[in-house]
């Protein structure tokens, strides 16, 4: 028999003073409650209750057993409530990684998340590298771009368009590339963690694949989008970048965009 149920049946019988009342309380038959108590007496090798037609009283061993049983049943209920509370209110610790340029813009969202879920603490690793989630004990990775073949579970959060851009001063000095083929004739500012090492990727016009354009002269390379942005602003060449990094610059300064 389930020993916890037996202890509960014993406790409720003592508290209510009758097998029938304990049976109704526990939604068991009086016979089953009696079997549970008998199984405890057999296990302990001692009678726990004096039973008469009018009342039930504890034996000396029963008094000791009752005190312990009350504590056990109470702790079990406390444990149940604690687990139910834990499951209903999110708590715990999250380790998250995301690109630096993205992290610079997500501060308000993280603040709202913390306000909504005060029981959750976070470590936020700002790194443009694709970190091994197991090695770095990460729970969540936010990335822009194409996900390599992986056993990880991925969810698309939002579109993340990229643009090829250059400053007006660079276009004035070197001309504006009008086709993908002309991109290779320009100075390019490369990204260290580009998912395709062959060059810059563009969507196929038919939407069936991608076109990878080999880069021309690469005089500057960086592992950080903000450094790329600074180099573009300084007129050092073309760069393929997430639109959210440069969209305000494009709007305000009238850059050329391929």
Task: Give residue-wise pLDDT tens across range 37-68.
Answer: 999 999 999 999 998 777 889 999 999 999 99
pLDDT at 127: 83
pLDDT at 203: 77
Q: Is residue 133 predicted with pLDDT exceeding 60? A: yes
pTM of the entire structure?
0.54
Dihedral through CA 114, CA 120, CA 121, CA 125, nearest 10?
-80
**Rounded mean pLDDT of the chain?**
85
Nearest Cα neighbor of 24 from 40, 12, 38 is 12
φ, ψ dihedrals at 33, nearest 5°: -60, -45
| Percent of the chain whose predicted confidence (pLDDT) is above 90 | 33
Give the angle subtended at the CA of 129 by the CAs of 126 and 135, to the nearest 5°: 90
pLDDT at 250: 84
pLDDT at 196: 59
Q: How far apart are CA 198 and CA 80, in angstroms?
A: 57
Exposed / middle / buried, residue 239 (Cβ in 10 Å: 0-12, 13-18, 19+): buried
Position 10 confidence tier, pLDDT thresholds 50, 70, 90: very high
């Amino acid at each position: 028999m389930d020993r916890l149920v037996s202890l509960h049946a014993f406790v409720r019988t003592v508290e209510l003073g009758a097998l029938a009342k304990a049976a109704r309380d526990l939604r068991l038959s009086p016979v089953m409650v009696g079997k549970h108590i008998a199984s405890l007496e057999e296990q302990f090798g001692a009678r726990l209750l004096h039973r008469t037609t009018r009342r039930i009283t504890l034996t000396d061993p029963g008094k000791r057993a009752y005190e312990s049983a009350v504590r056990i049943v109470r702790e079990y209920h406390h444990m149940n409530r604690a687990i139910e509370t834990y499951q209903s209110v999110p708590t715990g610790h999250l380790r998250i990684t995301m690109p630096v340029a993205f992290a610079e813009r997500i501060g308000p969202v993280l603040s709202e998340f913390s306000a909504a879920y005060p029981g959750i603490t976070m470590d936020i690793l700002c790194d443009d590298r694709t970190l091994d989630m197991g090695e770095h004990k990460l729970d969540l990775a936010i990335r822009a771009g194409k996900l390599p073949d992986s056993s990880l579970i991925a969810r698309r959060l939002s579109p993340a368009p990229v643009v090829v851009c250059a400053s007006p001063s660079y276009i004035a000095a070197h001309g504006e590339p009008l086709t993908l083929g002309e991109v290779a004739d320009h100075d390019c500012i490369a990204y260290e963690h580009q998912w395709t090492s062959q060059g810059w990727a563009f969507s196929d016009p038919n939407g069936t694949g991608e076109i990878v354009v080999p880069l021309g002269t690469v005089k500057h390379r960086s592992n950080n989008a903000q450094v790329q942005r600074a180099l573009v602003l300084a007129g050092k060449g073309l760069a393929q970048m997430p639109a959210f990094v440069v969209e305000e610059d494009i709007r305000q300064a009238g850059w050329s965009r391929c």
